Structures are given as structure tokens and as C-alpha cells.
Amino acid sequence: MKILVAVKRVMDANAPVHIRPDGLEVETQGARMGINPFDEVALEEAVRLKERGIASEIVAVALGDDATQDVLRHALALGADRALLVNTQTSLQPLGVAKLLQAVVMREGPELVLIGKQAIDDDAGQEGQMLAALLGWPQATFVSSLQIEGQELQAVREIEGGTETLVMRLPAVVTADLRLNDPRFIKLPNLMQARKKPIETLTADELGVDYTSRLVVERLSEPPVRAAGRRVANVAELVECLQAEGRRLEIRELL
Amino acid sequence: MSVLILAEHDGLALKPATRRVVGAAGFWQQPVELLVIGPAVVANEAACLAGVQRVLHVDSDAMPVAEDLAPLLVDLMHERKVLLAAHSSLARDVLPRVAALLDVAMIGDVVRITGPASYVCPLYAGRLLASMTSRDAIQVLTVRAPLFAPVGESQAVPVFALPALASGGASRRVAVNRQVSERPQLASARIVVSGGRALGEKFDAVLAPLAETLGAAVGATRAAVDAGFAANELQVGQTGVVVAPAIYLAVGLSGAAQHLAGMSDSEVIVAINQDLEAPIFKVADYGLVGDLFEVVPAVTRAIQQLQERQA
């Protein structure tokens, strides 16, 4: 079975977020960039499926400018067999990405697409579902445990208040929760080898789909800062404050 | 033009978030329809919500999987302009699928509606807000329900029965594992008592009595969940549940950006932490530095004594 894993290049989760002077985009120049952590989990799961003899080939795909090659090198070092860059300078939105990925899936013919449940930059969490819709495939989102036997996939999903288990036939799209696995540490020799491997590149326009943005971002802003409150000295004072707030907010337990 | 809302319920009653989504729908000043997929008792409850013009009811024992639910929503949206739901695990699963089938963008986790197709949404774990306008003819969006005022009751409106949903057979649910709890639901509780990894094995022993006393839901940081001290479904933050209760009690949690993303809209934040320098104190309205294992039980006792005096 062939698996396609889509990976996104994002800013490091701990890097400070600055808005460009135009107020429309985030400044990524000089920021530490890397693979979206959720996509790394998706890739690790693909590698494990290959190690168990369930998958035969793993293709990592990323969309973006030339700098995006670094996350594909990371994917190759982690265990992807091939890397594919869909080259574009345009900033993409989830629907456009889904259409481009759909075109890649048509070319590559995987039976399973694995992808992170969300990216830590836009936090949209739409990609897998949109791709599944366009392909007409079933989807398992927010997956924390995955099993594949023959043509049947069983996934445990994280939902409000617990989990649920879905069973579906391949081909399917699975989006990974961080709980699915802990990605392995990449060894230096693997990293060196990955540098030598080719990255296949095609342009977004070659895929022949309309990936224009539907949402016009008018302004980025920082949320209002919460003013730091007051330091209380002891439990008695804290409970007094809680009681006062409780009265104001009409909370029965604190009246 | 009309607004369609995907209602959520627990099989017996509507979830509180649905009343807030109806509140959010008021922005468009257009007829609002509520789609209830579930038992008649929930449809009848939905018919009494103020601001709802009509309930569309599919009688069903269980919520269909996304593959079966999406085609119904797509069909309904061919004659409507706005599809709205709470930013819940159900809507996050099915609405992107619907949006793609309609060939429109989805706008997720809206914190403010500023125009008929204009919204404010958080990015980067809530560290940024994006003001945006959709160019699509149909709007598909989820809203951060706790930030919108709930609607009250009104005279019952008609309930219109829709045919049962066919299963396409692409996917089927074989098990649901939900923790049964007497406590209020995390997403809609008025008070949340939340703990970090510092509580260790005593997570429950320390927090449960306080939560019980306050009628509060219990939340946790990702670190506490990953360390096995708290259940997955208690996780508050960027990748967990987003809450905005009246009071958020943060116990032994430092206040990482990923956690703040899930609770910084709380009305009052109270922090109890051993570490004077913990970032949570920067956003807390009230902060107490002290030993969690002494302070929290003492707070619990003090509130219990207050309650006894009242009674």
C-alpha cells in the first residue's frame, strides 16, 4: 500500500509572532521554521505502518516556495521514500490546498492519506476533511490510534468527553492527533542521506486547479492584553475575592 | 437568505452551546432554522428557542458519520446562505467536508462577526486575530460559542420532519467511549478548575473536592494529560477544548501560550502557583503564590464553610 503524507512548513511553536508592517501577514523572515508537529506525527505513523509491512511506499508532499524543501528533507530523514514539492509563491488557504492535494493524489494513487489534524499557524484543522470530500473518500479525523487490516481501517478518534471508534474501507484520509504517537528522533546519518536524495518538484499551476483564496484577510492584530490583576496574600483573601466575584457573576455556589 | 444551524445535543437535551450559536445567528437578522438530528424530545426543545423560525428534524438514534451527514447539509445549503455551528468536534469534523463539497471556504472558530461575510478568527494559538471577509456566496462557519450570548425561550415554532438519513456505508461507528460524569461539561461550565503537571499523582485528589464544592468542571493542561495525571478529554488549549467560563481557576499550571489559547477569554482568571514567575500570573485577575497541596484544600474548606453558613 502506498501512503501519501502531506506536511506543512510552519513557524516554531515557541517563536514570537510578529505582524509585518503591512498588517496582513506574519513576519517569518529569520524565524525558526520546521515541520508542523501534527504532520510529523502523521509521517511517523506512516513509517510505522511501513515497518509493520502494511505500507510499501511513503510519499511526502509539501506546498510552498523553495524554502519548503527543508521540511521535505526532514520527512525523508524520518522515513519517507520520496518527496514532492508543489512549488508556489502564493499564500494558500485550506480549500486551495485541498484541491492541489487532490490533484497530487490523482497522480500518485495512494490508498491512504495521512495528515496532521491541524497546523499550528492557522489552526484551521480543515485540510483532511476537505481533501476527503473532494476525493469522495471516507475520513477519520483527530485520530489517536490507527489499525489497518487488509482493506479495512479502524481509527479511534478524540471527541468531546471521550473517544469513538470508526471502521472504514480504504482508500481513506486520516488526520493525526498528537496522541497518535511520539515521532522518533532523527539520527544524523539519516539527515545526511536525506540531503542527497532528490526532491521532485512541480509547480502548482501544472496541477491545473483553481487554488485562489476565498477569504480576504483585511488585518492581523494582537488580541487585547489582559491587565495583570492583583496578588493576594493568603487563602482568606483569595476566598473573599472569589466570593465577591461570585456575587457579581451570580454564581450560586459562591453567594 | 436564511441561516441554518447544526444543533448539538446529548441525546436528551440540547447542548448549551447551541443556544449561544442561535444568539450568534441573530447577527444576520434573517430567518434561522435549526437542524436537529436526534430524538423528537430534542427537536421540541429546539422549537422553543427564541430567534428560531423553524426546526428541521431528522429522527435518529445516533449522529450520522461525516460521510452521511455532509450530503444532507450540502443539499440544504443549496437554498440557504449561512451554515453555522459551534466549534465542536462534530462540526470540526463535518463542516470542512460540507464546505469543500460546496466549493466554499470554511471559517473556523469565529470569535466575532463583524459583517454579513466578515469575521474575526484567532491564529497562532490565539496570539493573533485575523479580520477577514469571505468572497463566497455561501458562508460555512463555526463560532467559539462561549463568546456569544445565549437565547432564551419563546413560543414553539413548527418542527418540519426530514426523511431519515441513508448510510452510504463508507464508514461506520463501532464504539463510543464517553466518561460519564456528574460534573458540568467542560465546554459550557460556568466555573472551571484546571490543573497542571505540578499536581502529579494527586491531580484528582486535590482538584475534585474543589470542583465538587464549586459545581465546576475539571480541566487540565496538555502536560498533565500527557503525563497521565488527567484524562485526554479534560485538556484545555489550542489542541483541546476552548473554554470561556465566568471563573477559571488555574492550579499549578504555568500558562504556556498553547494553554492560554484555550482559556484566555474567561471572565475571571484565578491562579494558584508555587512559582512566583509563572506566566499565568500575567493574565490572572487574582494570583496566590503558595503550596498547591495546602492552598487548594484550604480554599475548598473555606468555601464549604461559607456554603454551610448560607444554608
E runs forming strands in chain A: 2-6, 9-11, 33-35, 57-64, 82-87, 112-116, 139-149, 152-159, 162-169, 172-176, 200-203, 215-221, 230-231
CB A162 within 8 A of CB B171: no
Q: Which of B130, B174, B190 sits opposite A165 (nearest CB)?
A: B174
Q: Which of B66, B171, B270 sits opposite A242 (nearest CB)?
A: B270
Cell matching residue B54? 423553524
Count how many pairs of residues, chain A against chain B, have C-beta atoms within 8 Å. 263
pLDDT tens-digit profile of B41-72? 999 999 999 999 999 999 999 999 999 999 99
pLDDT tens-digit profile of B224-250? 999 999 999 999 998 889 999 999 999
List the domain boundaries for chain B.
3-162, 186-310
User: Residue B1's pLDDT band (boundaries 50, 70, 90)?
Assistant: low
Closest C-alpha to B115, from B29, B36, B18: B29
In chain A, what residues touch B264 (CB-CB under 8 Å)?
Answer: 223, 226
Distance in angstroms (rounded) separating the CA atoms of residues B181 and B204: 14
Which residue reads 485550506 in cell numbers? A94
Closest C-alpha to B80, from B8, B139, B157, B6: B139
ipTM over 0.85 threshold:
yes
Binding-face residues of B in 218-247 toward A, CB within 8 A? 222, 232-233, 238-239, 241, 246-247
Distance in angstroms (rounded) separating the CA atoms of residues B152 and B143: 19
In chain B, what residues touch A175 (CB-CB under 8 Å)?
Answer: none
Rounded mean pLDDT of B111-135? 96
| pLDDT of the residue at B75 | 97
Q: With an 8 Å Cβ cutoff, is B114 touching chain A?
A: no
pLDDT score of B178 more than 90: no
Please provide the average confidence, as pLDDT, over all residues in chain B. Answer: 95
CATH architecture of B3-162: 3-Layer(aba) Sandwich (3.40)
Binding-face residues of B in 1-40 toward A, CB within 8 A? none
Which residue reads 467536508 in cell numbers? B97
Which domains are assigned to chain A? 2-207 (3.40.50.620), 224-255 (no CATH)
In chain B, what residues touch A172 (CB-CB under 8 Å)?
Answer: 171
User: Residue B182's pLDDT band (boundaries 50, 70, 90)?
Assistant: confident
Binding-face residues of B in 38-57 toward A, CB within 8 A? none
To test the contact with chain A by mutation, choose from B102, B288, B292 the residue with the greatest count of A C-beta atoms within 10 A, namely B288
CATH of domain B186-310: 3.40.50.1220
User: Residue B311's pLDDT band (boundaries 50, 70, 90)?
Assistant: confident
Question: Which residue would you say has higher pLDDT here, B5 or A251?
Answer: B5
CB A39 within 8 A of CB A78: no
pLDDT tens-digit profile of B14-27? 999 999 999 999 99
Cell matching residue B89? 468536534
CB B5 within 8 A of CB B51: no
DSSP per residue, B239-287: TSB----SEEEEES----HHHHTTTTT-SEEEEEES-TT-THHHH-SEE
Q: With an 8 Å Cβ cutoff, is B155 touching chain A?
A: no
Q: Among A42-51, A155-164, B91-100, which stretch is predicted with the lowest mean pLDDT?
A: A155-164
In chain A, what residues touch B94 (CB-CB under 8 Å)?
Answer: 129
Binding-face residues of B in 81-100 toward A, CB within 8 A? 88-90, 92-100
| pLDDT of the residue at B180 | 77
Residue B158 C-alpha, separation from nearest chain A C-alpha, in angstroms: 30
pLDDT score of B295 more than 90: yes
In chain B, what residues touch A31 (CB-CB under 8 Å)?
Answer: none
